[in-house]
Structure 1
Amino acid sequence: MTTVQFDCQYCTASLLGKKYVLRDDSPYCVSCYDHIFSNYCEECKEPIESDSKDLCYKDRHWHEGCFKCTKCKHSLVEKPFAAKDERLLCTECYSNECSSRCFHCKRTIMPGSRKMEFKGNYWHETCFVCEHCRQPIGTKPLISKDNGNYCVLCFEKEFAQHCNFCKKVITSGGVTFRDQLWHKECFLCSGCRKELCDEAFMSKDDYPFCLDCYHYLYAKKCAACFKPITGLRGAKFICFQDRQWHSECFNCGKCSVSLVGEGFLTHNKEIFCRRCGSGADADI
């Protein structure tokens, strides 16, 4: 009768009637198998022997009893978990440590739940609501005022001012004139209708005009050069009876010397210095 030889692949000890482990079709006694092939547990640093369950995550290994949340020490076996900086955390600890907190209720925004972001802060979707109607804003347009967020409809009802020209809501910016508001694009010259937002302008009877229109329609004309006398930027002018002159135009009609601050004579519609006018039929 022939005896079948059945030995350990490593130590060559007979495995007949003994417990063994088969690896790559080769038999090993339990002692040799554990010595050669066992992984070491990340938690206790002991080998995970063949009679223990080996739990693996990203090439790291744990005993079943060592596979726990790093923070609360609760078992993670067959439970959802997350990894942070090579630490394993249960979902609750991960949320408390790593997740955003709601700007409104200050509670954790759990992973997987929808969160809203606005101006660098986060809200639960149900906490991101209009300050007035308390309805969720979601991704709808909103307007912020005094640290509160409002849906457009509520903001218009509660706070918005209306353009004096088009009567529509002014949501930001605008131009104030005579204690009334205009959209920048609605603040126009009453004459030529060009925008005045970035232009110098003047007013007449509470209506704004660009300088060209105002000068054309209302400015006095110089009796010498017939150009408008605006008085802008401190420009000086001379008035005599019902006539006006630019200060630089107030000159003798004969010798052209300046008469500003000097005595002068008039003859018909002309003005003269005393020397030029003394020989004429002039009136003082």
Structure 2
Amino acid sequence: MPETSYECSDCQESLYGQRYILRDDDIYCIKCYETHFSHQCELCQQLIGCTSKDMSYRDRHWHSGCFLCGMCNRSLVDRPFATKADLLMCVECYSNEYSSKCHACLKTIMPGSKKMEHKGNSWHEHCFSCQRCQQPIGTRSFVQKEGNNFCLPCYEKQFAQQCVNCKKPITTGGVNYRDQPWHKECFVCIGCKVQLAGQRFTSRDDFAYCLNCFCNLFAKKCASCTTSISGLGGSKYISFEQRQWHNDCFNCKKCCVSLVGRGFLTSKDDILCPDCGQDM
């Protein structure tokens, strides 16, 4: 059998009676091993010997005694830490410098703890609570008013107006008609129930009507074309002896010339221009 070699794989010196390190089936004396394989400490720039504890983070290495907070110099061994621009910091120093402050209690929100954010402000999870009932809001819907947060039920009880029609709170949008609040979906034509928000409408006896329903129910009928004369929006019409005509319909029965602004004659239910009236 071949004789086992007890020489350093690098400097070839005998390792009999000496400490050595085995790496990838090769043996090295302590000096050669540290020269080739030990890391350089980020802080003191000295090699981290094989008898020293090597503290590593993201391909960077420190002696255990050099693994310190870059601000207060406390040891970070076996303690949580954070980094900023490659600077190691204990959690307390990092929090004091960079962590958000709770909008409610004004204390630091520690790294790793859950926080709630809204419109540039931050809260501890337990501080993000309803101003009225003091219960944590969490992921529930909420409304912010005058810098305070309210869960939706509390906001509705304290601030929301009630719809005149359904008596339920109006939380978003809504319509104001005759100084009374309505849900958009509740403000409808009394006749056909179409929503009136955003469209022209009129009223009669305190009821709101779309133009079609109002004309069909209440508008006078043109004596010529028999369709409704709404009179809304400044539209003009002619009235004579309890009969009405659209301006465009007020024409001579025989020659169809417009009689708007002109003299005219009547023959039973017909209206005639003076020329056609003389021929009768």
TM-score (norm 1): 0.84
The CA distance in 1 between the partners of 2:155 and 2:50, in whole Å, is 69
Verify the 8 A CA contact 1:178 1:206 in the aligned structure 2: no
Q: How many residues align?
A: 274
Deviations 1:33-79 (A, max 9, x none): 44343321111211123453332334322122211112332211221
- The one-letter code matched in structure 1 to 2:89 is L
Percent pairwise identity: 53
The CA distance in 2 between the partners of 1:68 and 1:180, in whole Å, is 67
Q: Report the Cα offset of residue 215 of structure 1.
A: 0.8
Q: Does 1:152 align with 2:166?
A: no
**What does residue 260 of structure 1 align with?**
260
The CA distance in 1 between the partners of 2:143 and 2:40, in whole Å, is 58
**What does residue 183 of structure 1 align with?**
183
**What does residue 22 of structure 2 align with?**
23
Verify the 8 A CA contact 2:7 2:27 in the aligned structure 1: no
**What does residue 116 of structure 1 align with?**
116
**What does residue 237 of structure 2 align with?**
237
**What does residue 223 of structure 1 align with?**
223
Residues 28-67 of structure 1 correspond to what in structure 2 (within 5 A)? Answer: 28=29, 30-67=30-67
Q: Report the Cα offset of residue 203 of structure 1.
A: 1.1
The CA distance in 2 between the partners of 1:6 and 1:163, in whole Å, is 95
- The one-letter code matched in structure 1 to 2:67 is F
Structure-2 change in CA distance of 1:273 and 1:8 (3 Å):
closer
The CA distance in 2 between the partners of 1:6 and 1:113, in whole Å, is 55
Structure-2 change in CA distance of 1:156 and 1:274 (3 Å):
same
Structure-2 change in CA distance of 1:40 and 1:241 (3 Å):
same
Residues 68-87 of structure 1 correspond to what in structure 2 (within 5 A)? Answer: 68-87=68-87
Deviations 1:154-173 (A, max 9, x none): 21222111111111111111
Deviations 1:169-209 (A, max 9, x none): 11111122222222111111111222222433221111111
Structure-2 change in CA distance of 1:259 and 1:6 (3 Å):
closer
Q: Report the Cα offset of residue 16 of structure 1.
A: 6.1
Deviations 1:130-177 (A, max 9, x none): 233333222222123334321222212221111111111111111222
Structure-2 change in CA distance of 1:218 and 1:6 (3 Å):
closer
Q: Is the deviation greater in 103-112 or in 257-266? A: 103-112
Q: Report the Cα offset of residue 27 of structure 1.
A: 5.2
Residues 197-216 of structure 1 correspond to what in structure 2 (within 5 A)? Answer: 197-216=197-216
The CA distance in 2 between the partners of 1:38 and 1:275, in whole Å, is 122
**SS of aligned partner of 2:185:** helix
Q: Report the Cα offset of residue 261 of structure 1.
A: 0.8
- The one-letter code matched in structure 2 to 1:81 is F
Structure-2 change in CA distance of 1:84 and 1:246 (3 Å):
same
**What does residue 174 of structure 1 align with?**
174
Verify the 8 A CA contact 1:9 1:27 in the aligned structure 2: yes
- The one-letter code matched in structure 2 to 1:44 is C
Q: Report the Cα offset of residue 8 of structure 1.
A: 5.2
**SS of aligned partner of 2:155:** helix
Structure-2 change in CA distance of 1:52 and 1:193 (3 Å):
closer
Q: Is the deviation greater in 49-58 or in 221-230? A: 49-58
Q: Report the Cα offset of residue 120 of structure 1.
A: 4.9
Unaligned runs of 5+ in 1: none
Q: CA RMSD in A?
A: 2.6
Structure-2 change in CA distance of 1:267 and 1:40 (3 Å):
same
TM-score (norm 2): 0.85
